[in-house]
Amino acid sequence: MSDVEVSGVSKRYDELWAVKRVSFTAPAGSFTSLLGPSGCGKTTTLRLIAGFAALDEGEVRIGGRPVDDLPPWRRNLGVVFQNYALFPFMTVFDNVAFGLRRRKVPRGETAERVAEVIDLVGLPDLAQRYPRQLSGGQQQRVALARALVIRPEVLLLDEPLSNLDAKLRAEMRFELKRIQRETGVTSIFVTHDQEEALTLSDQIVVMNLGTVAGAAAPKAIWEQPESAYVADFLGIENLFPGTVGAAAGPDEPVAVSVDDGAAVLRAAADRAPGSAVVLGIRSGDIAMRRSEGAGAAEEPNFLDGAVREFTYVGSAVVYQVDCPDLPAPLIVTAQQDFAIGDRVRLRLPPESIKLLRPEAPPDRSGDRP
């Protein structure tokens, strides 16, 4: 197995940098996700690794060897496409055997290896069927089998689950995890779905406008996202720009005043006074109860508000709460029932408030990456 080192890779299409100084390393045998919204450059990065497009600057190394001068057919990579890209006029067997035939593998061995990999991906006996006769899930497995049969150094997956329905997608997620563990192939997986990235990956590389916004293990990126952008993409619902004030003392929470609002919240974090931050808190970390007294909350990290709207999501209810001290409504998840207009008191625990790095969006134009 080989690791993949992407260093300072840039690619320009017309006036814009589709990918700009992107660097990350996918360790050998690991599962790395490139996560980001459409147009963030994640697929372009994958295509540069595969060799389908030529990079303008930087270097891609696979197993320590620079591959930028190699065409795709010399890189020994397995690629699974979003639309599967199965050869429509070939049977399942011929599709899977395609790579082995290009490698002049003898017939007997070809048949053996095809049978082996078809078994690995959990396909029933469909070898003589054509792609159009298969279900979406089966086509997906054929695409995986075809990419794996050549024993690639790296497996590249471009949103392979996005064309499946929700139930099948969850099932294939487990399958993908199992297959990756059994083969131990270094995998790079492109997705816009944070849940997919969190459940599958050893490492998540979050991308934004052609640049890397943050890279870490799922747990680390979930608990302490580097920047406001990463936090937003990983579903931290409440984000407010603020300014750090003075700390009450060493190891005491710092007070952060919310910009465009009267709220001052304490956060268990260490930041220099005066620095600009983004306060982030998940909807589920906020405690909400009916406010009894008429007086405003005086204790730290308590806010008063009124329920504006709610949506029932099955396991809980998600509320939108208007707080006079905040510039935008707060999103709160609660088990208890509240009605629209109910006056509520909210507690935002200091240890749940994340102070995130605000980020200016990267500039995609210009002659230099």
Partner 1 sequence: MGSLFLRSGRGLVTAMAVFWLVFLVAPIVVTLASSFTSSTYLTFPPPGWSVRWYLSAFESEWVWSTFWNSVVIAVVSTAIAVALGIAAARVLARHRFYGRGAFEYAVLSPLIIPGVVVGFALLNVSVLIETQDAGLLNLIIGHTMVTTPFTLRSVWSSMAGSDISLEEAAQSLGATRWSAFWLIVFPLIVPGIVAGAIIAFTFSFNDVTISAFLSAREARTLPVELMSHIEYLPDPTPAAVSSLMIVITLAFFLLVERTVGLGVFADR
Site residues, partner 1 (CB under 8 A): 50-52, 71-73, 75, 77-79, 81-83, 85-89, 98-99, 102-103, 146-147, 150, 156
CB of 102 to partner 1, least distance (A): 3
Give the Cβ contact number of residue 339 at 10 Å. 7
CB nearer to partner 1: give 6 or 143: 143
CB nearer to partner 1: give 131 or 261: 131
CB of 266 to partner 1, least distance (A): 52
- Taking the C-alpha atoms of residue 49 and residue 32, their distance in angstroms, rounded to an integer, is 13
b/e sequence 153-180, b meaning 16+ C-beta within 10 Å: bbbbbbbbbeebeeebbeebbebbeebb
Nearest-5° Cα angle at 175, 170 to 177: 100
**Eight-class DSSP state of 38:** T
CB of 193 to partner 1, least distance (A): 20
- Taking the C-alpha atoms of residue 225 and residue 35, their distance in angstroms, rounded to an integer, is 13
CB nearer to partner 1: give 159 or 175: 159
Give the Cβ contact number of residue 19 at 10 Å. 31
Q: What is the DSSP string of 108-121?
A: HHHHHHHHHHHHHT
CB of 26 to partner 1, least distance (A): 17
φ/ψ (deg, to 5) at 39: 85, 5
CB of 324 to partner 1, least distance (A): 53
- Taking the C-alpha atoms of residue 172 and residue 201, their distance in angstroms, rounded to an integer, is 14
CB of 132 to partner 1, least distance (A): 12
Q: Are 130 and 162 in contact (CB under 8 A)?
A: no
- Helix crossing, 166-183 with 107-120: angle to 10°? 130
CB nearer to partner 1: give 162 or 275: 162
Give the Cβ contact number of residue 46 at 10 Å. 20
Return the SS3 of 308: strand
CB nearer to partner 1: give 136 or 349: 136
Which residues are within 8 A (CB) of 252 and not within 5 positions of it... i.e. 6 or more apart? none
CB nearer to partner 1: give 190 or 307: 190
Return the SS3 of 233: helix
CB nearer to partner 1: give 89 or 174: 89
Amino acid letter for position 290? R
CB nearer to partner 1: give 142 or 321: 142
CB nearer to partner 1: give 102 or 178: 102
CB of 117 to partner 1, least distance (A): 13
CB of 75 to partner 1, least distance (A): 8
CB nearer to partner 1: give 26 or 105: 105
Nearest to 122 by CA among 135, 137, 112: 137
CB of 95 to partner 1, least distance (A): 9
Q: What is the DSSP string of 126-171?
A: -TTS-GGGS-HHHHHHHHHHHHHTT--SEEEEESTTTTS-HHHHHH
CB of 27 to partner 1, least distance (A): 22
